[in-house]
Structure 1
Amino acid sequence: MSTLQNKIDFVALISVNMANANGDPINGNRPRTDYNNYGEISDVCIKRKIRNRMQDQGYPIFVQSEDRCDDGLGSLSERASTTLKGIKNREEYTKKACETWLDVRAFGQVFAFKSKDSVSAGVRGPVSIHQAVSISPVDVQTLQITKSVNGDPGEKRSSDTMGNKHFVQFGLYLLKGSINVQLAEKTGFTEEDAQVVKECLRTLFVNDASAARPDGSMEVVKLFWWQHNCKDGQYSSAKVHRSVKVTLKDSDQIPSSVDDYAITVEALPGLEPEVIDGL
């Protein structure tokens, strides 16, 4: 399989309904917002979901979450040592890592572990993901909840034992990203790998349900995918990303669904996006 030859840019529109899109652990796990109340989903969160979808499709993943570990190895150091043991040359080490794990090929990875047989090395990946930001300010709601059962024998249950559950009433988030050909050549990232990333973005929230994100509460509405006709791109990534225009149909209205927005794509001569419905 040949490495990626043409630059790729993409934009995804993500709707959030009565869900905590990405909780902030230093703020009581409230949905992330900036100082102007625009919702945010971190790039790390998005990459985690993409990795999970890669795993669901049967691809070997280096950075596995604990609840999705499929090789019995409990740490990144163990995973690296098991596969890369005995390789002392840095270039051979990173080449083997890229050949083995799709997420290393895509996102890159820093290998810096304490084990004796590890090699300190870094891989820059071709797939870059921005944090997703909501088009309009979001309304964060908080529900107080009480315990209905005892946690330990002899514990006295009382109705004043309470917790909080936070969620975004509604938000439409815009996610941007790109795939760089020069870095793809270094990691061996292929056109087939790019198609896997596209499918992962289209199905980003499959098998991602939780108490904070019930099934159906988060959805990829549209995925815009531009494949340029050259390595460096016919237009800058910034210009391509800006070509997606999302505006409120009624500027005085508080949005409550995707239908409240007008979504258009500014024409870029010679570069047409593939427009894909999310799952």
Structure 2
Amino acid sequence: MSALSHKIDFAIIFSVKHANPNGDPLNGNRPRTDYDGFGEVTDVCLKRKIRDRLQTAGSSIFVQSDEKKTDGMPSLKHRAEAEAPIGLGKNAFKPSAENTKDKIAKRACEQWLDVRSFGQVFAFGKEADAAGVSIAIRGPVTIQSAFSVEPVSITSTQITKSVNGEGDGTKKGSDTMGMKHRVDSAIYVAYGAMTPQLADKTGFSDADADSIKAILPKLFEGDESSARPAGSMAVKKVIWWQHNSKAGQYSSANVHDLLLKLIDSWKEDNNEDKNLLNQIDNLKPDSESSKKLEIGNLKPEIIDGF
């Protein structure tokens, strides 16, 4: 399978309504914000959702979440040993004189889509033949944290939690107090890129890029929870710029800046989220707004959310 043949830049525009898109465990699980009050969803959180959607679509994923495991493996070490290439056994991902770092990295990239996409660090224990060894794989797919286009309003609600006491369960334990937090209404934007130079090293292909492209419009499907009720988070648009070469016609910074300027122009005309959402919904191929996302002969593909 040939590696990625074109540089790709992309952006994801998504809405949040009465949900906690990414709680901060160091701040009482309140929705993450920066110092200026803009909402944030970390790149780690977004990559977790991408992995989950790819896994649901049938791709082989190395870093699986506990609640979505499909193989029952208790750790990454056990998964690596269980999914070792046939004939190589559990030592396929263990360094040795014959098993060089390059061989291990190549096998891992061939085995798991998320490894050849995002990269991975394989750290080894203190065995005599592996002391101090770690293998770092640098992936071609990068995603930035998503930030809201306006400062977010956060509502905090006090709740009570009831549990059964110890013993036979007939005696109710004391109620305890807790808090739930939500973002009332906001629009977030995340930017990403796919770099062919790094794809050459991991084997990330055009087909892999298409797999990620296919799941981005439905990034939050199957991600429902108490903090994120069904329908409370939705991808509105995916903007996909495919360059005409591996080097690309323009830098990612210049390409991403096109959407930033377009959103700023919308904000100047509309001060209400509803109007801004209408502008996003009306962002269609060949529309006046879509032309502002073109630079030279680089035109974007605009994909509606699922």
TM-score by length of 2: 0.85
Q: Which amino acid aligns with 2:91?
A: G
Q: Which moved more, 1:102-111 or 1:113-122?
A: 113-122
Q: Which amino acid aligns with 1:190?
A: S
SS in structure 1 opposite 2:91? Answer: coil
Separation of aligned partners in 1, 2:270 and 2:4: 45
Q: Which residue of 1 aligns with 2:107?
A: 96
Q: Displacement of 1:105 after TM fit? A: 0.6
Higher helix share: 2
Q: Displacement of 1:125 after TM fit? A: 0.3
Equivalent of residue 161 in structure 2, options 123, 130, 147: 147
Q: Which amino acid aligns with 1:127?
A: V
Structure 1 spans left out of the alignment, 5+ residues: none
Q: Contact between 1:21 and 1:213, CA under 8 Å: does it hold in 2?
A: yes
Q: Contact between 1:19 and 1:169, CA under 8 Å: does it hold in 2?
A: yes
Separation of aligned partners in 2, 1:175 and 1:201: 11
Q: Which moved more, 1:198-207 or 1:240-249?
A: 240-249
Say if 1:256 and 1:29 are closer, same or farther in 2 by CA, change over 3 A.
farther
Say if 1:150 and 1:252 are closer, same or farther in 2 by CA, change over 3 A.
farther
Q: Contact between 1:77 and 1:115, CA under 8 Å: does it hold in 2?
A: no
Q: Which residue of 2 aligns with 1:53?
A: 53
Q: Which moved more, 1:36-45 or 1:61-70?
A: 61-70
2:42 corresponds to 1:42: yes
Q: Which residue of 2 aligns with 1:122?
A: 136
Q: Which moved more, 1:110-119 or 1:191-200?
A: 110-119
Separation of aligned partners in 2, 1:102 and 1:223: 21
Q: Which moved more, 1:77-86 or 1:30-39?
A: 77-86
2:91 corresponds to 1:86: yes
SS in structure 2 opposite 1:121? Answer: strand
Q: Which residue of 2 aligns with 1:236?
A: 251
**CA offsets 1:23-46 (integer angstroms, 9 cap, x no match):** 000000000001111000000000
Say if 1:257 and 1:101 are closer, same or farther in 2 by CA, change over 3 A.
farther
Q: Which residue of 2 aligns with 1:220?
A: 235
Q: Contact between 1:142 and 1:167, CA under 8 Å: does it hold in 2?
A: yes
Structure 2 spans left out of the alignment, 5+ residues: 85-89, 93-98, 284-288
Quick check: which has more Rg, 1 or 2? 2
Task: Report % sequence identity.
Answer: 49
Q: Which residue of 2 aligns with 1:182?
A: 197
Q: Which amino acid aligns with 1:140?
A: I
Q: Which residue of 2 aligns with 1:278?
A: 305
Separation of aligned partners in 2, 1:233 and 1:148: 57
Equivalent of residue 263 in structure 2, options 209, 231, 246: 246
Say if 1:228 and 1:69 are closer, same or farther in 2 by CA, change over 3 A.
same
SS in structure 2 opposite 1:224? Answer: strand
Q: Displacement of 1:71 after TM fit? A: 1.6
Q: Which amino acid aligns with 2:145?
A: Q
Higher strand share: 1
- Kindly report structure 1 stretches of 4+ aligned residues shifted beyond 4 Å: 115-119, 248-252, 260-263
Q: Which residue of 2 aligns with 1:106?
A: 117
